């Protein structure tokens, strides 16, 4: 393969730059040319100056930077056949033979549709007299995805690029809230990102010893209000001076209606008679310099993506390179797309005793114990049980 493109798409995630740097440098080392596509798929839709060659020095000094130097977007045009037709035209014009897409589930879904439709768009362009399309013929366009999302909601990787950094950000903020919460004997309701996935909320709840957590994957009991209130009430009776109640932004009632911070605040204040404050961490979770874990993960996966493109032949299907059992591994893109949508259902079905399904992060291992958090807290007070509890809830 002589020339590839690379883009970052969807919500930015710390480590996207590190992945980009690895893609560019490994590709150059392999004798390929690399074109950076700016502003996600929008760059391919507009073409021209939005697709430019990247050299070794263009990606220097970005390893530690949050965000993405290519820019990103949630492209609406990419959802339309007309938009994807333009993508194919501009990719052909630039002589791209492959593409690395760094993004979340929406971005990787777009990549799969592009791959599927590629031959049809090329045919139409060839019929309309485009020389590059006529020359292209029946060849396949090669696509490799990289999981870039703080949500950690992608099938095919134990961790997505950016999730570890976001988790550290959440934990840092929670630790700071706990000190003031305790000083004032207050309860803090904290909203954490995650539309469909409670990874950040659940992991930060474990890592900070939070008192209650609500996540989208949980099948809520009808009387969950009561359970939460009773548990917190007992904690106070045992001498606790504060609580933190975490909820993922996608947490829902049994009827599917969203749970809001105002609702939690009202319930806790009226039924516990405590002073309740709300903190929405918001986009602060997406920022910042990537952790060592994310830098290394992004670099390993970026290198693996280029290796896959370098070795691609007509039989090579589009895939996402993810981390599985601490090794980069390819998962077919259709499987990633389909099963990422199904992670929620998988989580609802699985039990700790029933074993852990691979490659949906550490969620499965610790989701169930959190249902029994109250029991764990009580057991944790018994020294002989401490190690057991530690192993039960550790990742
Ligand atoms: O997908 C990452 C994410 O940060 C989600 O956790 C959040 O729901 C969403 O993006 C926010 O998107 P935007 O920045 O477009 O509002």
pLDDT in tens, 93-112: 999 999 999 999 999 999 99
Checking if the pLDDT of 345 tops 60, the result is no
* The two structure tokens encoding residue 164: 């570890």
In the chain, % helix, strand, coil (3-state, to 5) comes to 50, 15, 35
pLDDT at site 352 = 32
**186 and 156 in one domain?**
no
pLDDT at site 219 = 78
Lowest-confidence range among 118-127, 132-141, 199-208, 217-226? 217-226
**8 Å CB contact between 150 and 163:** yes
* pLDDT tier at 343, thresholds 50, 70, 90: low
Query: In the predicted model, what is the mean pLDDT of residues 51-66?
Result: 98
Q: Is residue 352 part of a domain?
A: no
Measure CA 215 to chain center: 15
**152 and 76 in one domain?**
yes
Q: Where is 91: in which H helix or E strand?
A: helix 81-93
**142 and 45 in one domain?**
yes
pLDDT digits 0-9 by tens, 246-266? 999 999 998 889 999 999 999
Q: Does residue 151 line the site of ligand 1, with CB under 6 A?
A: yes
Q: Does residue 250 line the site of ligand 1, with CB under 6 A?
A: no
* pLDDT tier at 342, thresholds 50, 70, 90: low
* pLDDT tier at 372, thresholds 50, 70, 90: very low
DSSP letter for 284, please: G
pLDDT digits 0-9 by tens, 1-13? 999 999 999 999 9
Q: Give the separation between CA 152 and CA 191, rounded to whole angstroms.
A: 17
Q: Where is 136: in which H helix or E strand?
A: helix 131-136
Q: Is residue 353 part of a domain?
A: no
What does the buried/exposed string (b/e) look like for 60-70 if buried means 16 or more CB atoms within 10 Å of the residue's CB? eebbebbbbbb
**377 and 246 in one domain?**
yes
**93 and 215 in one domain?**
no
**181 and 272 in one domain?**
yes
Active-site residue, selected from the candidate residues 105, 151, 158, 294 = 151
With the most atoms of ligand 1 within 8 angstroms of its CB, the residue from 9, 11, 14, 76 to mutate is 11
Q: Is residue 371 part of a domain?
A: yes
Q: Dihedral sign, CA of 178, 182, 184, 185?
A: positive
Average pLDDT over all residues of the chain: 88
**90 and 213 in one domain?**
no
CB-based contacts of 139, cutoff 8 Å, min separation 6: 314
**126 and 42 in one domain?**
yes
**8 Å CB contact between 290 and 66:** yes
Lowest-confidence range among 27-36, 143-152, 335-344? 335-344
Q: Where is 347: in which H helix or E strand?
A: helix 333-349
Query: In the predicted model, what is the mean pLDDT of residues 208-212?
Result: 91
Checking if the pLDDT of 374 tops 60, the result is no
Q: Is residue 354 part of a domain?
A: no
Helix H segments across the chain? 16-29, 41-46, 81-93, 105-127, 131-136, 163-184, 199-208, 224-237, 261-272, 292-310, 333-349, 363-371, 373-380, 386-393
Domain carrying residue 42: 3-162+290-344
Q: Dihedral sign, CA of 146, 136, 315, 28?
A: negative
Q: What global pTM score does this model have?
A: 0.88
Total number of domains in the chain: 2
Determine the angle formed by the axes of helices 105-127 and 333-349, rounding to 10 degrees. Answer: 150
Q: Is residue 277 part of a domain?
A: yes
Q: Dihedral sign, CA of 160, 162, 168, 170?
A: negative
Looking at residue 375, which CATH number applies to its domain?
3.40.50.460
**388 and 338 in one domain?**
no
> What CA dihedral angle connects 296, 298, 303 and 305, to 10 degrees?
150
Q: Give the separation between CA 205 and CA 246, rounded to whole angstroms.
A: 7
| Ligand 1 atom nearest residue 195's Cα | 8
Q: Give the separation between CA 115 and CA 129, rounded to whole angstroms.
A: 22
Q: Give the separation between CA 166 and CA 153, rounded to whole angstroms.
A: 13
Question: Phi then psi for 258, rounded to 5 degrees?
Answer: -65, 145
Beta bridge partners of 102: 8, 146
**Residue count (the chain):** 395
Q: Does residue 150 line the site of ligand 1, with CB under 6 A?
A: yes
**8 Å CB contact between 111 and 78:** no
* pLDDT tier at 382, thresholds 50, 70, 90: very low
Residue nearest ligand 1's atom 10 by CA = 11
pLDDT digits 0-9 by tens, 135-160? 999 999 999 999 999 999 999 999 99
| Ligand 1 atom nearest residue 285's Cα | 4
* pLDDT tier at 58, thresholds 50, 70, 90: very high
Looking at residue 139, which CATH number applies to its domain?
3.40.50.450
Largest CA distance in the chain: 79
Q: Cβ-count burial of 383 within 10 angstroms (0-12 exposed, 13-18 middle, 19+ buried)?
A: exposed
Q: Is residue 356 part of a domain?
A: no
Q: Does residue 147 line the site of ligand 1, with CB under 6 A?
A: no
Q: Is residue 171 part of a domain?
A: yes
**220 and 231 in one domain?**
yes
**370 and 221 in one domain?**
yes
With the most atoms of ligand 1 within 8 angstroms of its CB, the residue from 71, 194, 195, 202 to mutate is 195
Q: Does residue 40 line the site of ligand 1, with CB under 6 A?
A: no
Q: Does residue 340 line the site of ligand 1, with CB under 6 A?
A: no
Q: Is residue 350 part of a domain?
A: no
Query: In the predicted model, what is the mean pLDDT of residues 332-361?
Result: 57
Q: Give the separation between CA 75 and CA 170, rounded to whole angstroms.
A: 28
Checking if the pLDDT of 213 tops 70, the result is yes
* The two structure tokens encoding residue 248: 């993922």
Q: Give the separation between CA 41 and CA 87, rounded to whole angstroms.
A: 8
Q: Give the separation between CA 252 and CA 221, rounded to whole angstroms.
A: 11
Q: Does residue 193 line the site of ligand 1, with CB under 6 A?
A: yes
**303 and 247 in one domain?**
no
Q: Is 151 a catalytic residue?
A: yes
């Amino acid at each position: 393969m002589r020339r590839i493109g690379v883009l970052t798409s969807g919500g930015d995630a710390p480590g996207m730059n590190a992945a980009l740097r690895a893609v560019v440098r490994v590709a150059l080392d392999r004798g390929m040319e690399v074109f950076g596509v700016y502003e996600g798929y929008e760059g391919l839709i507009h073409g021209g100056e939005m697709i430019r060659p990247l050299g070794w020095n263009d990606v220097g000094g970005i390893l530690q930077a949050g965000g993405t130097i290519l820019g990103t977007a949630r492209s609406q045009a990419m959802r339309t056949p007309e938009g994807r037709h333009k993508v194919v035209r501009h990719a052909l014009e630039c002589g791209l033979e492959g593409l690395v897409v760094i993004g979340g589930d929406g971005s990787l879904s777009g990549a799969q549709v592009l791959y599927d439709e590629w031959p049809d768009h090329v045919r139409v362009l060839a019929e309309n007299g485009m020389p590059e399309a006529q020359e292209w013929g029946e060849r396949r366009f090669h696509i490799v995805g990289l999981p870039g999302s703080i949500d950690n909601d992608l099938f095919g990787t134990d961790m997505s690029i950016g999730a570890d950094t976001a988790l550290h950000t959440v934990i840092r903020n929670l630790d700071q809230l706990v000190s003031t919460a305790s000083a004032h004997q207050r309860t803090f309701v904290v909203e954490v990102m995650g539309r469909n996935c409670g990874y950040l909320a659940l992991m930060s709840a474990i890592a900070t010893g939070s008192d209650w957590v609500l996540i989208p994957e949980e099948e809520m009991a009808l009387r969950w209000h009561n359970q939460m209130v009773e548990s917190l009430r007992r904690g106070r009776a045992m001498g606790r001076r504060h609580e933190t109640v975490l909820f993922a932004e996608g947490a829902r009632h049994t009827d599917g209606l969203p749970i809001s911070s105002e609702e939690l605040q009202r319930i806790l204040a009226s039924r516990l008679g405590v002073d309740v404050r709300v903190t929405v961490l918001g986009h602060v979770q997406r920022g910042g310099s990537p952790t060592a874990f994310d830098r290394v993960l992004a670099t390993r996966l970026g290198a693996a993506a280029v290796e896959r493109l370098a070795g691609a032949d007509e039989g090579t299907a589009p895939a996402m390179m993810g981390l599985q059992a601490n090794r980069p591994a390819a998962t077919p893109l259709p499987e990633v797309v389909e099963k990422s949508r199904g992670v929620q259902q998988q989580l609802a079905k699985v039990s700790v005793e029933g074993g852990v399904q691979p490659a949906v992060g550490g969620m499965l291992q610790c989701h169930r114990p959190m249902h029994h958090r109250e029991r764990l807290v009580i057991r944790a007070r018994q020294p002989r049980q401490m190690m057991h509890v530690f192993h039960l809830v550790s990742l």
